[in-house]
Amino acid sequence: MTRIVLVTGGAGFLGSHLCERLINNGDEVLCVDNFFTGTRENISHLLDDRRFELLRHDVTFPLYVEVDRIYNLACPASPIHYQRDPVQTTKTSVIGAINMLGLAKRLKCPILQASTSEVYGDPEVHPQPESYWGRVNPLGVRACYDEGKRCAETLFFDYRRQHQLQIKVARIFNTYGPRMSMNDGRVVSNFIVQALRGDPITIFGDGAQTRSFCYVADLIDGLVGLMNTPPTFTGPVNLGRPDEFSMLELAKTVIDLTGSRSQVVYQPLPQDDPRVRKPDAGLAKAAIGWEPKTQLREGLKVTIAYFETQLRREKR
């Protein structure tokens, strides 16, 4: 039987890939987005598909539709975007979660929350297991996103306890791939665009801080796999590649793959920027059977090719 699946934030980087995967799996998709960071270009190839419907809507307002499943991905996810309007960012995470949970409650359908590794803040435990409560500055410039996502997780588990809602919570670690925005301020897109333009590659801090990098197709495998787990399994579950690279290692890899002559320059570290970030991915493997397959260099080659195309269009 064909399912109707709601994807909020469906025109964003991750959302567009999820919509595409669900349609390829035989589902019908209702893509909801207010285009704060998402773009029509990301889902333009789906617009003519009879199984795809696009609705422009802000999740901070109630939504009345009939669907069988909900993936709640709506929220700007890069510091540049979520700090542009921090109050709205918090509203999207919290009020948006309340509205989507209310919809799921009415429909008695499963709902998945796209949470984030940022709930761990600047961690004192490494790698970060799901049992770790985190170390987040509630007053800092990143708090609108970090605390908004933490509150959304609270709401999801309270709706489960109070209303027996079927919930899934995914904590997404750094993800990269085609359809990232060139101007989102994330390290992978920054480094690639700077290298392709021949600009200096900007590293904040000394370059020793680390991140794990998961290719988008692998991440989507994890989201779909999590949604398909039995109702008794809720998560939260880390979705990220369980290895790590320093910012300097990433910069050197991008320079190598692009053949760029860009030089590395250093700037002060932003407030509350985590020093380390790496998932403990044991639960994802045990509960979902999920392991990311794409090696960093392999995924970067595809991502670089995407940005080369984007930059050529920019020059026209």
Which residues, including other chains, have CB under 8 Å from residue 250's CB and lie 6 or more apart?
187, 188, 191, 211, 213
Q: At CA 130, angle to CA 125 and CA 134, rounded to 5?
A: 45
d(CA 183, CA 37): 10
d(CA 213, CA 98): 30
Q: Is 145 part of the annotated catalytic residue set?
A: yes
**Nearest alpha carbon to residue 6 among 110, 129, 88, 82:** 110
Based on its alpha-carbon atoms, the radius of gyration of the chain, rounded to whole angstroms, reads: 19
Say if CB 193 and CB 255 are below 8 A apart.
Answer: no
Half-sphere exposure of 145 (CA within 13 A, CB side): 23
Q: Which residue has the tokens 């109050």?
A: 87
Q: Which of 82, 145, 159, 215 is catalytic?
A: 145
DSSP state of 288: H
Q: How far is CA 43 from CA 9, 19, 60, 157, 193, in A?
A: 11, 8, 22, 31, 22
The gap from C-alpha 168 to its chain's centroid, in whole angstroms, comes to 15
Hey, which residues are catalytic here? 145
